Every structure is written in C-alpha cells, then in structure tokens.
Structure 1
C-alpha cells in the first residue's frame, strides 16, 4: 500500500509594494506555484477561494491595512443583459470568436502592444516584450485557451483560411465550475464596439453552454475607477469573510450561497 502523503502546496508572502489601484496604499500577496499533475485541481480550488492565476503562479492579496480587493464571479444562468449590453451584441454581430490552444502569435502580440500603449502606458506590464507575452500565454499547467475575436470575412464559413481583422483576444482558464478570464485585450481605437463588454458576455454564453455556473472576473477594487465595470454584470457573487454572497448595487451582500 502506498502510504506516501500527497504533497501540499507551499505558500509564500511577497514584500510590501506600492498598490497599483489605490493611492497611498501598499500591497502584499500570498502565492503558490501551480505545477505538476494536480495543477488544474489546485487552480479550481484556489480560484474558488479568491486566488487568481498569472502564468504558473496563483496569488491573492494579503494586504495588512486594506481589504478593497474583492473576488467577483458572474452567475451565468441567471444573467440578463441590460439594454446597453444588448446593443453591444448587436454592434458586434459581425464578430466571430475562435478558440485555440494557449499559443501566442505575432498578430496577438501586435494587438497586445497597441492595447498597452494606449491603455496602460505606466502600468506594470507596459514594458512587456514579445517573449514576455509568449510566457504569459504558454506558461500554464492548467486547461487554458486563447479566444480570438475577428471580423467575419465573406465566405469564411466555407473557407477557413479567410481570417478577418483581429479585434480582441481573451486568455481564459476552463475550470470545473466555469471560465476564469485571466487576461483580455482589444483594439483601443474601436471604442464604439465596447469589446471588453462583448468578451465578457461571450464568456457568459460559453459558460452557460457548458452547463457551468460561473464566470470569474478577478478582483473588483472598491474605489478604483478602472475596476468599476466588473460590477455591471448581475447577478454576481462577491467573496466575503462569510463565503460567496450575492452582491447588490447598494454595496450590501445578499443571501449567502
């Protein structure tokens, strides 16, 4: 009989650093490595416990004086798009989404750099090279996919070699209870398309088709304007000290689930 204990993940704590979301705050993170045959299982459990994945690392905030970062997940079966969201779907009815293995391309990186240079010039990812991007996509031991969003070309349904302009890209993990949006980016010049909103709604549709209940959006940071969009998709749950609870726009949690 094999009595060898299953190795448990080792957790580490980062040194304090300047918070990228809130002024006059310092951040710390607790993290572990997602490697080996149990990586997907651990990614599921840790994501459900408020962690996020970056390459082969799972992390969550462990700040000493702040609890503003809150894990958010959309309840896909009950989700109903707003009027403005339905308008986004209509505007993007000419967009085709294709799922690929987690493999980078020059075309993706070109769009990625365009997005960073327009949206995140001073962010922590602003100086990422093509190699850095490739590592971000490929360095995964879990079930990760790249979704490319392109303009539908005439005849593309017959001839798969016809590929329209690449508008947006999502890097997502397929988990036992849904999809986790690890990172996404899009053409910043196409503001009227609201491609960020479109990708989230596409993930809701895909998750619902898989018969799974959740789309994980990462952290909502109360007080950070650039994170405000994450609370637009209802119903959604926030991870609180009491567990996952339905969030209401008033800022109060609803019934515990």
Structure 2
C-alpha cells in the first residue's frame, strides 16, 4: 500500500435514513445496514458526483452507503484512469477481444433486458435478483434523475455484454455489467472495466468508480487487479499500488 493519502473530505451535512439490519449481500454470516439518502435536493448528477466521493452509490433511483455497526468490510474503490498501468493479463484480455465492437448507447433498449435476464437467470440463481423481471431490471438499472450510458459490446451483430455506466462531471461510475454466459471465456467483466477506463480517458474524466470492495468476497477481488487503485478508508482516499 502506498502511504500517501488524499486530503480528508470537507464536512458535509446530509439528510439520510438508516435501514433495519438485514442479511449481508456479500458476507452471509454478517448483517448489514444502509444509509439511504433522504434529501430530494441531492438527486441530481452534480450532487451525485459529490456523493460518490463520499462513498455513496446508487441502486436505481436510490442512493445509499453501507453503515454497519460491527463490520467495515465494504470500502469504496476508484481508479485514477490516467494512472492505471495494465497488467500482462489485462493486455491479453484486450488482445483476445480485439475482434469485438464497442458502441456507446445513451438510452435503454429492449435487447438490454433480454441479455440481463439471460445473465441473472444463469449466473445469479441464488441471489435476490433471481428470477429476473422487466420491472426489477428497470427498478435496479434506471433512475429518473440520471441518464446512464450503456457500453454495448458486440460479437459480429450479436450483443454479448452491456456495461451500465453513470456519467458525472469528473467521473464515470461502473453501475452494473451483464453479459451472455456463453462468452464467459472472454473475461467480459474485466473487458468492460477496460472499456470504461478508455471511455473516461476519451471524454476527459479523471475517475472511474468501481463500487465497493470486500476483500473477504472472492468474486469482487478482480477490482483490485487494476493498479494503482484507491480505497475510501475512514473518510480518506488511500492509494494502493501493489
């Protein structure tokens, strides 16, 4: 870990609610609570940018942050996109997928849900989103106060992956990625992050937020393979380079 730190966040007063405890989505033996944004004035792209830097994230129209009394495992993670140094493995993934076509979409399309449904019903049969429905998809992916961009990934004419990406004034936020499990050998989750890094660079945004990192949850550890990265720990962004 690099010992350098970013300056502490300026004090901000927020109107939030606290959910009851419920089973943790990442660590089955734990209970989780969430801080949920209650201030209607904060539900806009400009203020969401600020909230991302404070460790918040959205699910559909809601903005939340973990707030668990007995556990601090969830830490926000982000990349300074112009500082990322790709590993040999990440370069191989780019090369392996050089035949794919990437298009930026700016509105929801029916084919996104069909792909999402295939992904959820194949990959997440034990999760809370199974079985996938159109209502659940729209409630989770879309927000009336923010229009995400959709990074579409095609093999020939076939849509095989979509990375739902929120766009702010200084960052992208990787909201959710889903793909056709038949193409799993292409490492499309990692490929989607690589595309989001390139997209942020191309439109001049310095940051890419990757959501929460939970070290004890193995399925999330792909995020820390992008170096250097930053974690929000006790209110400060700390840089990890190895």
Q: 2:117 aligns with which of 105, 113, 118?
A: 113
Q: Secondary structure at the match of 1:150?
A: strand
Q: Which moved more, 1:193-202 or 1:141-150?
A: 141-150
Q: TM-score, normalised by structure 1?
A: 0.84
* 1:88 paired to 2:81: no
**Cα offsets for 1:64-115 (capped at 9, x unmatched):** 100000100011111121111111111111111212223131x222211211
CA contact (8 A) 1:179 1:203 kept: yes
In 2 relative to 1, CA 80–182 (structure 1 residues): closer, same or farther, beyond 3 Å?
A: same
Question: Which position in structure 1 is the counterpart of 2:44?
Answer: 39
Tell me how large the CA RMSD over aligned residues is: 1.8
CA distance in 1, matches of 2:137, 2:107: 12
Runs of 4+ in 1 over 6 A off after TM superposition: none
> Counterparts in 2 of 1:22-61, with a 5 A limit?
22-32=27-37, 39-61=44-66
In 2 relative to 1, CA 25–135 (structure 1 residues): closer, same or farther, beyond 3 Å?
A: closer
Question: Which position in structure 2 is the counterpart of 1:69?
Answer: 74
CA distance in 2, matches of 1:94, 1:138: 30
CA distance in 1, matches of 2:37, 2:198: 31
* 1:215 paired to 2:208: yes
What are structure 1's unaligned runs of at least 5 residues? 1-7, 153-163, 250-257
* 1:10 paired to 2:15: yes
**Cα offsets for 1:6-44 (capped at 9, x unmatched):** xx8631110000112113210000011585686112211
Compute the displacement of 1:176 (Å). 1.6
Compute the displacement of 1:213 (Å). 1.4
Q: 1:168 aligns with which of 156, 161, 165?
A: 161
Q: Name the structure, 1 or 2, with higher relative contact order (CA <8 Å, separation 6+).
A: 2
Q: Secondary structure at the match of 2:181?
A: coil
CA distance in 2, matches of 1:59, 1:146: 22
Q: TM-score, normalised by structure 2?
A: 0.89
CA contact (8 A) 2:121 2:130 kept: yes
In 2 relative to 1, CA 211–205 (structure 1 residues): closer, same or farther, beyond 3 Å?
A: same
Question: Which position in structure 2 is the counterpart of 1:149?
Answer: 153
Question: Which position in structure 2 is the counterpart of 1:201?
Answer: 194
**Cα offsets for 1:219-250 (capped at 9, x unmatched):** 0002111111110000110001151110244x
Compute the displacement of 1:197 (Å). 0.7
Question: Which position in structure 2 is the counterpart of 1:134?
Answer: 138
Q: Which moved more, 1:195-204 or 1:35-44?
A: 35-44
